[in-house]
Structure 1
Amino acid sequence: MIRPALTALAIILALPAAAETRVPQSQAEIALGFAPLVKEAAPAVVNIYAKVVRQVQQRRRSPFMNDPFFDDFFRGFAEPQPRVENSLGSGVILSADGIVVSNYHVVGSATEIRVVTADRREYNARVILGDKASDLAILQLEEAEGLPHLDLRNSDEVQVGELALAIGNPFGVGQTVSSGIISGLARTGMGAGDGFGYYIQTDAPINPGNSGGALIDVNGDLIGINTRILSRSGGSNGIGFAIPANLVKEFVAQARSGAEEFQRPWAGMAGQPVDADLAASLGMDLPEGMVVSDLHAESPFAKAGFRAGDVITHVDGEVVNSPSEMVFRMSVAGLGDMSVITRLRGGEREEIEVPMIVAPDQPPANPVQLDEKTALPGLTVARVNPQVIARLGLPLSAEGVVVTDPGPYAGRGGVQAGDQLLAVNGQAVASTDDVYAILAGSGRWIQLDLNRHGRRMALRFRL
C-alpha cells in the first residue's frame, strides 16, 4: 500500500506545543489536504447491493375462497407471495483476489449480492463467512483478480485523538469521504442485543449506507469497519462506531480456512465489571477488570484454577473491564492458542495460561427433530451441553432438554428457541428421546412446561 506523505497536514497539526500555528506557506500546502490519501484508499471501498426475497403469507381470506364458482377468481390468493427487499451498504476489499468485508446486517440474509467498485466494475459475490453477533460478513467476489485493497492495522495501537477518515456510500448518493478523529476506544453495550459489541468510536460523520465502509488512518490503513451510529434522529450526530480491524483479521483467517461459521473461544464463565463499590468490597485500590461470578464445570478457566470472586484485568496484556471486552479479546486471540490471563486474587496478581477452545459437545447434544408421527412436527430439541449453552446463550447452570427450533406448529403456539423443556403432558423429560416418545403417543391436548430466562410457564395446544 502506498503511503502518501501528508505534508500540509503535518505542518498545520503536528507543531510543537510551544510553537505558534502558522498559515500554509504555499499553494501546494493549501491544496494538498487529504487528497493523496483518499486517492490511494478510496478505490478499495465498494458499494454493495443486496437483494432479499421473502415469502409472505397473505393474511386476508375471503368467505368465497372455497366456493367452486369463485375458485378461478381466488386461485393462489392465500398462498405465500414473494416480497423483494433491497439493501444498500458498503464494503472494503482486503485482498487482490476479491476478499471483501462488510456488515452482516447488510448482506447476511441476501439471496443475491452485487458489488460495484469505485471504477464501476461489477461483480457477483457470495458470503463465505458471516456472524450476526459480531455484525461482520466476509464476501468472495467472483472472477476477481488484481483488485486494489487496504492493509489491516493493529487496532490495539489506535489512540484517542488520531485523525481518521470514513469512506462509504451514505444514503446511496455515491462514494463519500468524511473526516474526524478517534473519539473513544473500547466502547461496549452498543451491540445488536447480544452483548458482543466492542467498538472504536469516531466523530467522522457516518450515515445510513456507510455500514460496512472503511475507517482508515492517515497512512491509509484500515482501522475498523463502520457499523452503526448513536442518534435519536437517524442522522449522524458525531458519534459513530466501527468494528476493530483486529477482529476483522480473525474473520478473514477463519474464512480462508474454510470455516462455515465463526468460531470464538469459549470461556464458560459469567462476570460483571468492577465498579467502585465492588472494588471496595474486594479490597482493591481502584476499580478495574471483570469479576468472575460463575464458572461452568467444563470451563477452561475453571480447569486452569479460576474461581468465582477472581478478577480478570488483562488478556494477552490488553485491558479487560467488561464481559464484552473479554469476548472480544478471546475472539481476537483465536482458537488453538494459549492466552495469558492476568488474575487478581487477594491483592496478588498472577499471569495464567488458558487454552482457547470451542465449547465442547459433551455429553452429545443428540438433537432430534420431531416428524409427522408426533403431535408437533418440526419441533427440534437437544440435550443441554456447553456447545448448546454457548450457541443459545443459556445460563451456565442449564441442564436437561432445550428447544433449538420450535418449528411451525409449536412456534405459532409461543414456543421459542432457547426454552428449556421441563415436562410434556405432566411427564418430566430427561432426554430428547423422552420428548419424542411422549409426543408420539399424545392425545388431543398437549401441555409443555418450560423455563424461559428463569421464568417457568406452561403452554397448552389443542390438536
Structure 2
Amino acid sequence: MKKILTLVLVSALGGIFTLGTYKLFLEEEKQVVLTTTDKNPTFLPTSNVSTLFNTTETPDFTIAAENTVNAVVHVKNVTISSGQMTFQDLFLGRSPQRAQMGTGSGVIINADGYIITNNHVINNSDELSVTLNNNKTYKAEIVGSDPKTDIALLKINADEDLPYVTFANSDNAKIGEWVLAVGNPFNLTSTVTAGIISAKSRNLDPTGKYTQSFIQTDAAVNPGNSGGALVNTNGELIGINTAISSQTGSYIGYSFAVPSNIARRVIEDIMEYGNVQNGILGISGVSLSSSVTDELGVNDTEGIYVGEVIEDSGAEKAGIEKGDIIKEIDNIKISKFADLTGHISAKRAGDIVNLTLLKNGKLKTVPVTLTRNETYSLPLVGRIKNAKKEDLKKLNASNGVKIIELDNEYESYWTKNNVKEGSIITAINDTKINSVDDAQEAIKNRSPYEPLRIELINSNGEKERYNFR
C-alpha cells in the first residue's frame, strides 16, 4: 500500500514540475489590453469589399472639359425697344428708344464659325455679338431658327479656324450617365458643371399643345447657360441646354436640354434648305396608362393608342388605323408620346421609320414614310390642310385650303352658319390662299391690331366673308 501511495505522489510532483517548467520557459507571454470608450468614435463601414475605396473608378471630366470650354461662346443680344415717353418727347415729336441686352451661350459646331444656340437667346435681336473663350469678340448673323425646337444657327467670320464640338448620338445616351453642362451663367466666362442624366424624353408643356422631348439632367444650369453644351465624358455634344425647372429663376435641381439628334437635324435643314423640313407620322392619340386603358377598353398599359389618322399621311398609307397601339419605333420601346415624337423630331419628311403595332391583338411591324406637315391650326377656325382637286371641285372653288376640324370653342358658331368640315377657305385678309403655307404666312404678316378677315365657301357652296376684331 505504501508503495502505491509513494508512486502516486511521485507522479503528481513530476506533473507539477513539468507544467511549471512549460509555463516559465516555453509559453509566450500574453499582454492584457484595457479598452476605453472614445467620446468621438470613428465609424467605418462593415463591408470589407476593397472596391469601396477604389478611387480609380471616379469619373475624370478633365478631358471633356478641355475639349469643350474653348468651343462654347458667350452670346450677347441687343434689342432696341421704345422707352418711356416724356412730355418733352411728346412736344418735340420724338420717339425715345432704349437698348436692352440679353445674354446666353452658344456652341461652335465647325471650324468655319457656325454656332448653334437657342432661339430664345437671339429672338428679336437688333445686334448680335459672340465672345470666344480667348476674349475675342465678333459680330454674328442669324442663318436661321426654329421656334418649335428653340434652336437657332449663327455664323461668325473669324480670322482663324475655330475649335468646335462634335455631335454624339443622343439616342445612345443613358439614364445615370455622367454629363457636363458648359456655358456662361450670370455673365461669367465658360463654366463647367457636372451631373447625370436624370430622364429622357421629358415633356414640359402642360397644355399638350407641343409634345417636347428633352434630356433632363441634374447638372447645375442657370440663366446665361441657355444655348450652351451638354456633353458626355468624351466631350461630345448630346444636347443644347435650354430650360430649368425653378420657382426662383435659378437652378434648384433639374435642367433640360434639346437632344443633339434633334438639334443637328434642325441646323442641317436650315443650312441645306433655309427652313426646317419637319416630318410627321400623321396620327394623334394618347399615351396608355391604367386609367386610360379602362376608359378605352384595352388591356395594354404601355404604348400609344391611335385615336385619329390624318388623311393622306404616311400613317394612313401604311395602313395604320384608329385603335392600333404603337409599341416601338425603329426598335425603340415607346411608353409615352414624347418617346415617339422625340425620335421623329430627329427625322425629316421622306425618311422611313419602322413601327411595331399591336393590331387586332397581334404584333405587326410596318414601314412608314414621314410626310410634310400639311395641316395648320388657324386662329378662330380650327385645323386646315391642303385641299385636293376633288375637294375644290366639290364646292366649285378655284383655290383654297380645306377645314378638317373646327375649333371646339367656335364650333357652334360655324355650324350655325353652315361652315362645317370640308368647307374651303379661299382668302385671309384679302390674300389669296392656295396652301397651308400661304395661310401661315398671312397670319404671320397680320398686324395684331388688324381684324382677321376670312373668305370661304361653306358646305352649301355659298361664298361668305367674316370679320373678327
**CA shift for structure 1 position 311:** 1.3
Distance 1:167 1:274, change over 3 A: same
Distance 1:196 1:134, change over 3 A: farther
Partner of 1:266 in structure 2? 280
**CA shift for structure 1 position 104:** 0.5
Amino acid at match of 1:218: T
- Given that 1:265 and 1:356 are in contact with CA atoms closer than 8 Å, whether structure 2 keeps it comes out as yes
Choose which of 49, 53, 76 in structure 2 pairs with 1:22: 53
Choose which of 56, 69, 82 in structure 2 pairs with 1:42: 69
Partner of 2:15 in structure 1? none
Which whole-Å CA distance do the structure 1 matches of 2:304 and 2:296 have between them? 12
Task: Give secondary structure in 2 for the equivalent of 1:91.
Answer: strand
- Given that 1:191 and 1:197 are in contact with CA atoms closer than 8 Å, whether structure 2 keeps it comes out as no
Q: Does 1:289 align with 2:303?
A: yes
**CA shift for structure 1 position 115:** 0.9
Q: 1 or 2, which has the higher helix percentage?
A: 2
Partner of 1:52 in structure 2? 79
The equivalences for 1:62-73 within 5 A come to none
Which whole-Å CA distance do the structure 1 matches of 2:244 and 2:68 have between them? 23
Q: Does 1:384 align with 2:398?
A: no
Distance 1:169 1:342, change over 3 A: same
Q: Does 1:338 align with 2:352?
A: yes
Q: Deviations over 1:254-305 (max 9, x none)?
A: 1331x22212113332111111133356676541111111122222211211
Which whole-Å CA distance do the structure 2 matches of 1:327 and 1:165 have between them? 25
**CA shift for structure 1 position 363:** 2.8
Partner of 1:9 in structure 2? none
Task: Give secondary structure in 2 for the equivalent of 1:151.
Answer: coil
Q: Does 1:255 align with 2:270?
A: yes
Choose which of 311, 315, 318 in structure 2 pairs with 1:304: 318
The equivalences for 1:39-438 within 5 A come to 39-54=66-81, 56=82, 74-77=91-94, 81-143=96-158, 145-190=160-205, 194-257=209-272, 259-280=273-294, 286-360=300-374, 362-363=386-387, 383-385=400-402, 399-401=423-425, 404=439, 405=442, 411-412=448-449, 415=452, 421=454
- Higher gyration radius (CA): 2
**CA shift for structure 1 position 34:** 2.9
Distance 1:364 1:58, change over 3 A: farther
Distance 1:18 1:341, change over 3 A: farther
Distance 1:346 1:73, change over 3 A: closer
Amino acid at match of 2:216: Q
Which whole-Å CA distance do the structure 1 matches of 2:364 and 2:448 have between them? 49
Amino acid at match of 1:264: N
Alpha-carbon RMSD across the aligned residues, in angstroms, is 3.9
**CA shift for structure 1 position 346:** 2.0
TM-score by length of 1: 0.71
Unaligned runs of 5+ in 2: 1-47, 375-384, 390-398, 412-419, 429-438
Higher mean displacement: 45-54 or 326-335: 326-335
Which whole-Å CA distance do the structure 2 matches of 1:174 and 1:192 have between them? 36
- Given that 1:247 and 1:332 are in contact with CA atoms closer than 8 Å, whether structure 2 keeps it comes out as yes
Which whole-Å CA distance do the structure 2 matches of 1:209 and 1:430 have between them? 56
Which whole-Å CA distance do the structure 2 matches of 1:408 and 1:255 have between them? 21
Amino acid at match of 1:39: E
Distance 1:194 1:82, change over 3 A: farther
Task: Give secondary structure in 2 for the equivalent of 1:332.
Answer: coil
Which whole-Å CA distance do the structure 2 matches of 1:238 and 1:324 have between them? 22
The equivalences for 1:442-461 within 5 A come to 448=467, 459=468
Which whole-Å CA distance do the structure 1 matches of 2:242 and 2:367 have between them? 33
**CA shift for structure 1 position 53:** 2.7
Which whole-Å CA distance do the structure 2 matches of 1:414 and 1:53 have between them? 27
Which whole-Å CA distance do the structure 2 matches of 1:222 and 1:170 have between them? 19
Identity percentage of aligned residues: 28
Q: Deviations over 1:156-197 (max 9, x none)?
A: 111111111111111112221111111111111348984132
Amino acid at match of 2:342: F
- Given that 1:296 and 1:397 are in contact with CA atoms closer than 8 Å, whether structure 2 keeps it comes out as no
Amino acid at match of 2:93: G
Unaligned runs of 5+ in 1: 1-16, 63-69, 366-381, 439-446, 449-458
- Given that 1:45 and 1:93 are in contact with CA atoms closer than 8 Å, whether structure 2 keeps it comes out as yes
**CA shift for structure 1 position 233:** 1.0
Distance 1:170 1:293, change over 3 A: same
Which whole-Å CA distance do the structure 1 matches of 2:84 and 2:134 have between them? 43
Distance 1:21 1:190, change over 3 A: farther
Which whole-Å CA distance do the structure 1 matches of 2:445 and 2:311 have between them? 35
Task: Give secondary structure in 1 for the equivalent of 2:280.
Answer: coil
Higher mean displacement: 312-321 or 185-194: 185-194
Q: Deviations over 1:311-336 (max 9, x none)?
A: 11222222334444333222212232
Distance 1:301 1:24, change over 3 A: closer
The number of residues matched between the two structures is: 379
Distance 1:307 1:194, change over 3 A: same
Which whole-Å CA distance do the structure 1 matches of 2:308 and 2:185 have between them? 44
